[in-house]
């Protein structure tokens, strides 16, 4: 009797072991993207957009593209996300859960450089691919992380397109003034702009920062006026950008071009300043209206993948169930899905090392623009777009492959704007 | 001798809770980072309780001590990484710097703010926190608003593998040790003259003064002790676990609010309270974030209100009351 029990138990354990082994060896039925998203807290707005962007592109991959081709099979993408509340303590615990409990194949970082940095050591310790669509700080990629790859353009690139454009449209303009907010992000943008300006042969005649939450920029602008720049680049956030423009008008500081980060691309900027904002520019990772397409990709010798812009917008609205236009947070998160899909197909594997290596060799174009990373994972293939207010409308004026109109250069003086003159290309 | 030992009995449930957390983290796959988060909240509550719980003063600028401790460790790593042969010694120097800097800041703040009471004290401490942050940013001290990122230096000092295990495991073990040490110091204070003096001043500061207690001295002792532990928590949980410091993040008042909630949930002035508060707070937040992403704060706020209304003395305060005549009473204080 005892022997029978023993036999039964042995057979049972053998079957159980076999089942476990076959389960472990079984090919995956889907590819899961994990994301400690910022659904609440200070980055909630960017977080919601990112979720919409990821869902929209997953929808496209599964239903239009037909899934991800890997090891002779088409696998669908799935998406698992939690709310990290924009807090670093939650980011690490949720990434660990996504990797160990949900068994995701890739982790998308939370928004911001700080939260991206917080999650990187945990992802690295699990040998997990970690894709960054919200941390623009270049220093993240100098820390020696092996599995991190960036989709968002680095902060140092923000004003490079503006400088390239001005050099092209007005080679005589040589004097540039830099005036940025004193914050981690804006100062990184300023370092990049300064380096690029010098490389292009511009003369930096003024360089200064102003504190966060500033309420009066008159002293800084008066000093800036005395340096007689041809054009000004700077900014930090919406409030100080608006103040910058308004007080430039008060002090009659007329320059050929003004480009402000973060503020000038927002509709609220023109609403608050009306005619004073005419001709003012701002860089953005992506704007609704960009003209990236299969044809543009062919022209620059890149492969195209993903939905076109209108298809992406429709999928985004469907994903969130809201009638809102996606912003760049959505576009970069969506483009990251496409980059991952191409890399898995190129590697023909889900192995982190192979996919990371494939991402390093990957170049392509999508509705978001170009995509390419260097050896450290830093994004080098994506160009910022420059947006300019012309007749109360946001026109994408740079780069050529994305533009919806020519640049209005030089922009009207503040006296002309007060008389009703609008910015129009010549 | 027996009496000496029995007075430390209340540490048993505290240490048992930490041991249980450690075992869960070590043995259940995917739980370590959750345990790390819970340990952070427990350590934060335990450190904050030394001042709030024992004096009744609410320090809204408490996070400044965590921030300065983070800077202490960050400066040691960034400034000494190039010196060969120091190795792990840099981390020890970092802890010493964190302790020194948080002590100096607490002495400076305490000397002024502890002359105030109630709302005036609370407002003054908020001012110190914000003022200190703007000083670092405005005067461009320690790289100003750009902050410090030092994972690469940590790799250089310890090697990639060791640095990785420091960031994902050993830093959390250090937090556990700090939390346990804070509990021990709390009990030591409770059972000594310092604790009796602090209890007297918490109940009625003027009466305590009349009775001949040097209230300023004891308030400063509690304030500096609490600040030192905050500095150590910052140096480990923020600088070693996440090798970067951005001023807006390490001086974010939100962490002080979290510390207050943890202490009040568990029971201010109790030994086990911060552990109970940290666990309730951390576990609720974690599982609500998983099962109801985006809505957890809507659900969490009423939960906190209900707990505080039902147990105004905190969960451990209620337990203490219920168990006062039982054999368990000596373990729960």
**Secondary structure (DSSP) of A240-267:** HHHHHHHHHHHTT---SEEEEETTTTSH
Question: What is the pLDDT averaged over residues A344-354?
Answer: 96
* Domain residue ranges of chain B, discontinuous segments joined by +: 2-331
Work out the burial of residue A406: count CB atoms within 10 Å of its CB; fewer than 13 is exposed, 13-18 middle, 19 or more buried: middle
The pair of three-digit structure tokens given for residue B201, joined into one six-digit string:
């001043």
Given a contact cutoff of 8 angstroms between Cβ atoms, the answer to whether B284 and B300 are in contact is yes
Enumerate residues 6+ apart whose C-beta is below 8 A from B212.
none
Q: Quick one: closest CA in B to A80, which residue?
A: B290
A404 Cα to chain B: minimum distance (Å): 35
At residue A402, the pLDDT reads 87
In eight-state DSSP terms, residue A136 is: -
Helices (H) then strands (E): counts for chain B: 17, 2
Closest CB from B134, B146, B249 relative to A187: B146
Q: Could you please report the per-residue DSSP string of B206-270? A: HHHHHTT--HHHHHHHHHHHHHHHHHHHIIIIIIITS-EE-HHHHT-THHHHHHHHHHHHH-TT-
At residue B118, the pLDDT reads 83
Q: Tell me how far apart the alpha carbons of residues A363 and A305 are, in angstroms, rounded to a whole number.
A: 11
Interface of B with A in 131-160 (CB under 8 A): 134, 137-138, 144-147, 149, 151-152, 155, 160
Q: Tell me how far apart the alpha carbons of residues B202 and B204 are, in angstroms, rounded to a whole number.
A: 6
Which tens digits make up the pLDDT trace of B282-316?
999 899 988 888 787 788 888 888 888 888 899 99
At residue B150, the pLDDT reads 94
Q: Quick one: closest CA in B to A84, which residue?
A: B289
Indicate if the pLDDT at residue B154 is higher than 50. yes
Comparing A277-291, B82-96, B185-199, B317-331, the range with the smallest average pLDDT is B317-331
At residue B138, the pLDDT reads 86
Quick check: helix, strand or coil at residue B65? Answer: helix
Indicate if the pLDDT at residue B319 is higher than 60. yes
At residue A7, the pLDDT reads 64
Structural domains for chain A: 31-153+289-372 (3.40.50.2300), 157-284+384-418 (3.40.50.2300)
Which tens digits make up the pLDDT trace of A70-105?
989 999 999 999 999 999 999 999 999 999 999 999
User: Cβ–Cβ contacts within 10 Å for residue B326, how many?
Assistant: 10
Using 50, 70 and 90 to split pLDDT, how confident is the model at B37?
Answer: very high
At residue B305, the pLDDT reads 87
Among B74, B77, B138, B145, most A C-beta atoms within 10 A, so best to mutate, is: B145
Give B259's contacts in chain A (Cβ within 8 Å): none
At residue A213, the pLDDT reads 84
Which tens digits make up the pLDDT trace of A314-337?
999 999 999 988 999 999 999 999
Closest CB from B37, B41, B167 relative to A121: B167
Residue B183's nearest CA partner among B56, B29, B47 is: B47
Q: Tell me how far apart the alpha carbons of residues A232 and A241 are, in angstroms, rounded to a whole number.
A: 12
Indicate if the pLDDT at residue B10 is higher than 50. yes
Among B66, B240, B293, most A C-beta atoms within 10 A, so best to mutate, is: B293
The pair of three-digit structure tokens given for residue A332, joined into one six-digit string:
């970069």
B46 Cα to chain A: minimum distance (Å): 17
Indicate if the pLDDT at residue A391 is higher than 90. yes
Using 50, 70 and 90 to split pLDDT, how confident is the model at A121?
Answer: very high
User: Cβ–Cβ contacts within 10 Å for residue A30, how many?
Assistant: 12
Work out the burial of residue A102: count CB atoms within 10 Å of its CB; fewer than 13 is exposed, 13-18 middle, 19 or more buried: middle
Closest CB from B37, B242, B289 relative to A83: B289
Closest CB from B29, B242, B286 relative to A93: B286
Using 50, 70 and 90 to split pLDDT, how confident is the model at B85?
Answer: confident
Residue A332's nearest CA partner among A12, A46, A27, A1 is: A46
Given a contact cutoff of 8 angstroms between Cβ atoms, the answer to whether A190 and A178 are in contact is yes
At residue A12, the pLDDT reads 53
Which tens digits make up the pLDDT trace of A222-237?
999 999 999 999 999 8
Q: Could you please report the per-residue DSSP string of A215-238? A: S--HHHHHHHHHT--SEEEEE-SH
High-pLDDT (> 70) share of chain A, %: 94
At residue A21, the pLDDT reads 47
Is the bond preceding A129 in cis, omega lying within 30 degrees of 0? Answer: no
Indicate if the pLDDT at residue A154 is higher than 80. yes
Q: Could you please report the per-residue DSSP string of A48-95? A: HHHHHHHHHHHHHIIIII-SEEETTEEE-EEEEEEE-TT-HHHHHHHH
Which tens digits make up the pLDDT trace of A238-273?
889 999 999 999 999 999 999 999 889 888 899 999
Which tens digits make up the pLDDT trace of A30-69?
999 999 999 998 899 899 999 999 999 999 999 999 999 9
Partners of residue A80 on adjacent β-strands: A34
Question: What is the pLDDT averaged over residues B123-149?
Answer: 90
Residue A74's φ and ψ, nearest 5 degrees, are -100, 115
Between residues A12 and B21, which one has the greater pLDDT?
B21
Among B78, B140, B242, most A C-beta atoms within 10 A, so best to mutate, is: B242
Using 50, 70 and 90 to split pLDDT, how confident is the model at A20?
Answer: very low
**Mean pLDDT score of chain B, rounded to an integer?**
92
In this prediction the pTM is 0.88
In eight-state DSSP terms, residue B199 is: H
Closest CB from B34, B146, B152 relative to A184: B146
Question: What is the pLDDT averaged over residues B29-56?
Answer: 95
**Mean pLDDT score of chain A, rounded to an integer?**
92
Is the ipTM here above 0.95? no
Indicate if the pLDDT at residue A5 is higher than 60. no
Which tens digits make up the pLDDT trace of B204-253?
999 999 999 999 999 999 999 999 999 999 999 999 998 999 999 999 99
B77-99 burial by CB neighbour count: b if 16+ within 10 A, else e? bbbbbeeeeeeeebbebbbebbb
Q: Tell me how far apart the alpha carbons of residues B127 and B129 are, in angstroms, rounded to a whole number.
A: 5
Q: Quick one: closest CA in B to A83, which residue?
A: B293
């Amino acid at each position: 009797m005892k022997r029978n029990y023993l036999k039964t138990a042995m057979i049972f354990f053998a079957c159980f072991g076999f089942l476990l082994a076959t389960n472990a060896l079984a090919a995956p039925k889907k590819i899961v993207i994990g994301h400690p998203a910022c659904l609440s807290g200070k980055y909630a707005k960017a977080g919601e957009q990112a979720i919409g962007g990821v869902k929209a592109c997953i929808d496209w991959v599964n239903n239009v593209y037909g899934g991800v081709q890997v090891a002779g099979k088409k696998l669908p993408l799935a998406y698992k996300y939690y709310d990290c509340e924009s807090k670093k303590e939650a980011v690490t615990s949720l990434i660990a859960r996504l990797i160990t409990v949900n068994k995701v194949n890739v982790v998308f970082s939370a928004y911001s450089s700080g939260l991206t940095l917080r999650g990187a050591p945990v992802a690295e310790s699990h040998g997990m691919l970690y894709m960054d669509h919200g941390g623009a700080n270049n220093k993240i990629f100098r820390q020696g992380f092996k599995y991190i790859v960036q989709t968002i353009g680095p902060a140092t690139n923000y004003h490079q397109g503006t400088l390239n454009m001005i050099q092209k449209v007005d080679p005589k303009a040589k004097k540039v003034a830099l005036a940025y907010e004193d914050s981690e992000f804006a100062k990184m943008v300023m370092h990049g702009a300064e380096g690029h300006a010098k490389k292009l042969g511009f003369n930096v005649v003024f360089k200064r920062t102003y504190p966060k939450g500033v309420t009066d920029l008159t002293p800084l602008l008066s000093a800036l006026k005395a340096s007689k720049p041809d054009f000004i680049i700077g900014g930090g956030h919406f409030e100080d950008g608006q103040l910058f423009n308004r007080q430039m008008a008060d002090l009659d500081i007329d320059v050929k071009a003004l480009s402000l980060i973060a503020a000038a691309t927002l509709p609220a900027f023109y609403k608050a300043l009306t005619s004073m904002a005419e001709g003012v520019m701002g860089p953005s990772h992506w704007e609704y209206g960009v003209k990236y397409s299969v044809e543009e990709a062919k022209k620059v010798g890149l492969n195209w993948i993903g939905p076109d812009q209108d298809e992406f917008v429709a999928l985004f609205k469907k994903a969130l169930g809201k009638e809102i236009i996606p912003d760049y947070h959505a576009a970069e998160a969506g483009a990251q899905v496409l980059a991952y899909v191409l890399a898995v197909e190129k590697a023909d594997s889900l192995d982190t090392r192979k996919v990371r290596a494939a991402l390093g060799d990957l170049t392509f174009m999508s509705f978001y623009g170009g995509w390419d990373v260097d050896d450290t994972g830093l994004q080098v293939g994506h160009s910022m777009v420059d947006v300019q207010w012309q007749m109360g409308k946001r026109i994408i004026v740079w780069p050529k492959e994305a533009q919806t109109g020519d640049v209005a250069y030089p922009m009207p003086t503040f006296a002309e704007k007060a008389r009703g003159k609008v910015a129009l290309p010549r | 001798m027996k009496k000496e030992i029995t007075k430390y009995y209340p540490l048993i449930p505290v240490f048992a809770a930490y041991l249980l957390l450690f075992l869960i983290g070590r043995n259940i796959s995917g739980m370590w980072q959750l345990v790390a988060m819970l340990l952070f909240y427990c350590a934060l509550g335990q450190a904050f309780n030394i001042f709030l719980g024992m004096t009744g003063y609410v320090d809204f600028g408490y996070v400044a001590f965590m921030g300065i401790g983070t800077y202490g460790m960050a400066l040691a790593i960034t400034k000494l990484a190039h010196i060969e042969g120091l190795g792990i010694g840099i981390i020890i120097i970092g802890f010493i710097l964190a302790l020194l800097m948080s002590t100096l800041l607490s002495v400076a703040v305490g000397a002024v703010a502890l002359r105030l009471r109630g709302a005036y004290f609370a407002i003054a401490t908020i001012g110190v926190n914000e003022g200190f942050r703007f000083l670092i940013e405005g005067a461009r001290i320690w790289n100003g608003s750009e902050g410090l990122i030092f994972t690469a230096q940590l790799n250089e000092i310890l090697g990639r593998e060791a640095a990785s295990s420091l960031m994902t495991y050993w830093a959390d073990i250090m937090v556990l040790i700090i939390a346990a040490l804070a509990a021990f110091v709390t009990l030591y204070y409770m059972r000594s003259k310092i604790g009796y003096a602090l209890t007297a001043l918490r109940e009625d500061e003027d009466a305590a003064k009349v009775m001949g207690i040097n209230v300023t001295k004891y308030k400063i002792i509690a304030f500096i002790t609490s600040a030192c532990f905050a500095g150590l928590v910052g140096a480990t949980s923020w600088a070693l676990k996440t090798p970067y410091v951005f001023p807006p993040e390490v001086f974010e008042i939100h962490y002080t609010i979290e510390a207050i909630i943890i202490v009040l949930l568990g029971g201010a002035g109790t030994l086990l309270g911060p552990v109970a508060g940290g666990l309730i707070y951390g576990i609720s937040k974690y599982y609500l974030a998983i099962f109801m992403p985006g809505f957890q704060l809507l659900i969490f706020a009423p939960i906190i209100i209900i707990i505080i209304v039902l147990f105004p003395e905190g969960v451990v305060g209620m337990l203490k009351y219920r168990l006062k005549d039982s054999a368990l009473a000596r373990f729960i204080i």
